[in-house]
């Protein structure tokens, strides 16, 4: 498990003063991905139109390009606006297999100013049951601290 205190401090230092969502996503994807060997694919899917996610910055192999809110673990996180911790992706109804190596998944909603849904952070592991509630809570805190004041593109 990563040292979340250290990870959070490193991300805060690297992103201080930055409000561009894509720049923030790129930095977080890199830092989170390299913080733990369990993290096989780490990336963001951005809300680009109502009920639709498109690939954003990521680390790892290719991801799916487009995910509707109605499909998969990422869609479920966006739809429910809450974390999805999936110990076995094969048991998740409607799972989208972007990579055949994925065994478990953690997807967290990303909110900007005023709780505007920006997208989701998707972390895949090639290990079954790789994620814990503590991972979800610590990473959600990092996301909230990083993106809470991003104003959006309006």
Domain boundaries, the chain: 4-147
Which CATH fold topology does 4-147 show?
Beta-Lactamase (3.30.450)
Is residue 154 pLDDT above 70, yes or no?
no
Q: How confident is the model at residue 63 (pLDDT cuts 50, 70, 90)?
A: confident
Over residues 36-57, the pLDDT tens digits come to: 999 999 999 999 999 999 999 9
pTM of the predicted model, to two decimals? 0.94
CA 31, CA 99: separation in Å to the nearest integer?
A: 21
Is residue 112 pLDDT above 60, yes or no?
yes
Nearest to 104 by CA among 91, 92, 120, 89: 89
């Amino acid at each position: 498990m990563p040292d979340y205190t250290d990870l959070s401090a490193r991300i805060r230092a690297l992103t201080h003063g930055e409000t561009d969502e894509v720049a923030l996503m790129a930095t977080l994807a890199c830092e989170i991905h390299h913080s733990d060997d369990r993290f096989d694919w780490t990336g963001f899917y951005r809300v680009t139109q109502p009920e639709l996610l498109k690939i954003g910055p990521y680390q790892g192999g290719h991801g799916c390009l487009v995910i509707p809110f109605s499909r998969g673990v990422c869609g479920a996180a966006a739809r429910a606006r809450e974390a999805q911790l999936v110990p076995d992706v094969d048991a998740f109804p409607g799972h989208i297999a972007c990579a055949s190596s994925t065994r478990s998944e953690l997807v967290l909603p990303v909110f900007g100013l005023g709780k505007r849904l920006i997208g989701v952070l998707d972390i895949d592991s090639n290990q079954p049951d790789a994620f814990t509630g503590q991972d979800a809570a610590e990473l959600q805190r990092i996301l909230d601290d990083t993106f809470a004041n991003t104003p959006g593109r309006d």
